[in-house]
Chains A and B, each alone.
Chain A
Amino acid sequence: MAEAEKTEKTEGTEKKGTFVEKMGSVDRRIIFLLIGLAVLIPIIIEYTTAIPTSPLVQNLFDKIESLPPGSKVLMSFDYGPSTVPENQPMATAFTRHIFEKGHKLYLMALWATGPRQSEALIEDVISVEFPDKKYGEDWIHLGYKAGNQGLINTLLSDFTAMYTTDLDGTSIDEFPMMKGIGSLTDFDLILGLGSGFPGTKEWVQFAGDPGDIPVGGGTTAVMAPLLFPYYPRQIVGFLGGLQGAAEYEYALIKQYPKYEEKSRLASTSMGPQVWAHLVIVAFIIVGNITFFIERSRRKRY
């Protein structure tokens, strides 16, 4: 750094850099400072952003909104603890919306680490915010079964052959909400929450297409581009990373203002993202404007 400073100072003293030149070569430490603040301040003031919902997310929101109350929604937890920061806010937002509309929620998992995340959802959201919802009537916890896409295949033809009991081992015949569930085609919507293989893509390929069942869901940001080719024909919509979750939260708050306070998991962590991106975008604009001014000046001499 010392060397770089020396050259900058010598340049500075020779000819007083005009404002434009100074803006053209801002010291990198100022940029660092602004990025640091852009991330720290939103954390301190817990700033939440209103991320306008993109059609990709809005379609899925409208689908759940338009389903008649009491529709059957299957939610599959296909991720591990490492992607909880991105996937868990999606599960939370979906669950609130499903219960708000009086739909029936079926929890299952293609990943062995899935049930741990669905249990966290039960403790933090279901039992706290919806104590009136009865287990076995409004929601049920079916747990993990091995087989990846092979499992989806079997469930498509005979759901109860694989899930003969719920997670705790009580036979499914005792649960009223399991009546009439012969195969995946009996569900009104499948939500695949994924971060890798098997994930949302496998739910589209092995359940959505063959069984003609509406499929939606959410994935980590890095997996999102893989789902774009399926939208909108084979997938109703999906949430891409934290931003997708924040957009869904924003749509949920717009529809049900009572969630304004509680439903802020994704949008608070999107605060630093928005501010930092704005700082970067601003510096790019500044850099280019000064570049064009200097070039036009040089052309004139």
Chain B
Amino acid sequence: MKRTIPLLITFAVGLALIVAMFIPHVPFYELDGMFSVFYDVIAVFAFILGGGNLLKVHLNKIQNKRRDWKYSIVTVSGFFLVLAAGLLKIGVPDGWSGGYQAPGSLFKFLYDATFQPLQATMFSLLAFFVASASYRAFRAKTKEATILLVAAFIILLRPTPLGYYLTYWLPEPLRFLHIPNLSTWVLSVPNMAGQRAIMIGIALGIVSTSLRLILGIERSYLGSEGK
């Protein structure tokens, strides 16, 4: 009961969606769209579990005064402030029928003042990490690492005048060795070959994993076959 029914549900839903790809007849035609809306609704219910866990962890920290408990107060208060502003549509010009993100609402103000700059700044950290990663990773230790280095180097030179001065003097027949042309070639030939092989591999991996899930060979959350 606890094990066979979940396996049956996964088998039925997975198979129905695969078959729906080939049958345009009424029930199957909108199966994919309907199931995706069902999935979104389940995900909204799951939010209660997730949000509840977040609050429990931080309130627990505050109660037992564990390490950095003072910061947990920031998380909990930020959470309730934004949730109240959003669900109650505080400050929304046309009240309940107005959009929850309408300009002038507290929710929009908090989004513009805190969420958006924090997100953009965390994203911009990548510029620093790209530099430290390339300093450490692009070393000609092995043949593979050398190819990685050379390919990245050609592309990195492109926007810099260094790239231009390094190769502009090459005579006409060697024109394809000019950095702009060379980087175009590296991007559209070896890079495309590698990406294509990876995508073919991934597609086969996903086809096989989906099949294992549908046939119940891969059980993860139900525990291995033994028990």
Contacts and interface: CB of A to CB of B under 8 A. Distances in A.
A276 B180 contact: no
Chain B, interface size category, equals 20 to 34
Interface in A113-167: none
A31 B159 contact: no
A52 B168 contact: yes
Per DSSP, chain B at the interface is helix
Nearest to A27: B132
Interface string B131-161: 1101110111100000001001100111111
A287 B136 contact: yes
Binding site of A, secondary structure by majority: helix, strand, loop or mixed? helix
B44 interface: no
Contacts of A36: 128
B80 interface: no
Given A35-B127, A288-B138, A277 B156 contact: yes
Size range of the interface on A?
A: 35 or more
A55 B131 contact: no
Contacts of B128: 31-32, 35-36
A283 B153 contact: no
Interface string A28-52: 1001101110010000000001111
A278 B160 contact: yes
Contact of B156 (A225, A280, A291): A280
Given A225-B187, A291-B141, A28 B132 contact: yes
A26 B132 CA distance: 9
A281 B156 contact: yes
A32 B152 CA distance: 20
Interface in A37-86: 39, 49-52, 54-56
A243 interface: yes
A292 B141 CA distance: 9
B10 interface: no
Contacts of A228: 184, 187-188
Interface string B154-189: 001111111010001000000100101100100110
A109 interface: no
A12 B138 CA distance: 24
A281 B139 contact: no
A178 interface: no
B180 A54 contact: yes
Among A278, A280, A281, A288, max chain B CB count under 10 A is at A280
15 contacts: A31-B132, A32-B128, A35-B128, A51-B161, A52-B164, A55-B175, A274-B160, A277-B159, A278-B160, A281-B153, A284-B134, A288-B138, A288-B140, A291-B139, A291-B141
Given A28-B132, A291-B139, 11 more contacts: A26-B135, A31-B131, A50-B161, A54-B178, A56-B184, A228-B184, A229-B188, A274-B160, A278-B162, A284-B149, A288-B140
Interface of B: 127-128, 130-132, 134-136, 138-141, 149, 152-153, 156-162, 164, 168, 175, 178, 180-181, 184, 187-188
